[in-house]
Chain A
Amino acid sequence: GQNIDQPTEMTATEGAIVQINCTYQTSGFNGLFWYQQHAGEAPTFLSYNVLDGLEEKGRFSSFLSRSKGYSYLLLKELQMKDSASYLCALFHRDSNYQLIWGAGTKLIIKP
């Protein structure tokens, strides 16, 4: 199967660091996406990991480990505007090039 699991909700403090995990069960895939979705808005692209390792983009970093079957999104120096849902999605050629989406993690930032 290609189930994707994410925590439903997380809470963090402004200025802190938070790690949002995404675990999956699949025999192989092409790449893993992270999207951000503010309440009532459309998802917006954050990152795409193809190779194992950490990719950094400013305050946001995304990590992938194929051997361990997980990815995480790391958010540093949290700001109130980071309150949103974070969705991970797998691109798998055996799914006829459909993206398989996790249910998303709602991140709440407190002052």
Chain B
Amino acid sequence: KAGVTQTPRYLIKTRGQQVTLSCSPISGHRSVSWYQQTPGQGLQFLFEYFSETQRNKGNFPGRFSGRQFSNSRSEMNVSTLELGDSALYLCASSSSGTQETQYFGPGTRLLVL
């Protein structure tokens, strides 16, 4: 099976812009979770989607949003980018949820200037 894929791998944006990141889970996986990772920080949970529904949400502002399509592919959107949004954004898929082993994609490294 192909692994989790994320596009783009690298992105440079300026403050105030918006960005959309994409994640394709492992075939057959219905749960997709998004995380933000910054140097020295653990993985910060953004949200989890399951069968096109947001099932869990972390403590991030409303500028961070996401969605999941019928083929389980997921997108994450960040509006009005701030310098502090510079991070590695990881998505992870699992068969049915975070209580199972999650398989991570390579991440999208976002730099906000």
**A99 lies within 8 A of B45 (CB):** yes
C-alpha gap A98/B44 in the complex (Å): 10
B98 at the interface (CB under 8 A from A): yes
**A43 lies within 8 A of B98 (CB):** no
Give 1 or 0 for each of B87-103: 1 = CB within 8 Å of chain A CB.
00010100001110111
Most buried by B among A30, A91, A97: A97
B58 at the interface (CB under 8 A from A): yes
A44 at the interface (CB under 8 A from B): yes
Chain B residue nearest to A44 in the complex (CB): B104
- Residues on A with C-beta less than 8 A from B40 are 8, 103
Q: 10 closest A-B pairs (Cβ-Cβ)?
A: A42-B104, A101-B42, A103-B42, A101-B43, A45-B101, A99-B98, A43-B104, A96-B56, A91-B99, A98-B45
- The chain A residues found within 8 Å of chain B, CB to CB, are 4, 8, 30-31, 33, 41-45, 48, 87, 89, 91, 96-99, 101-104
Most buried by A among B43, B55, B58, B103: B43
C-alpha gap A97/B102 in the complex (Å): 13
Q: How large is the interface on B (under 10, 10 to 19, 20 to 34, 35 or more residues)?
A: 20 to 34
- Residues on B with C-beta less than 8 A from A91 are 98-99
Give 1 or 0 for each of B55-82: 1 = CB within 8 Å of chain A CB.
1101000000000000000000000000
**A97 lies within 8 A of B105 (CB):** no
Chain A residue nearest to B103 in the complex (CB): A45
- Residues on A with C-beta less than 8 A from B43 are 43, 87, 89, 99, 101
- Residues on A with C-beta less than 8 A from B58 are 98
C-alpha gap A97/B48 in the complex (Å): 10
- Residues on B with C-beta less than 8 A from A98 are 45, 48, 56, 58, 98
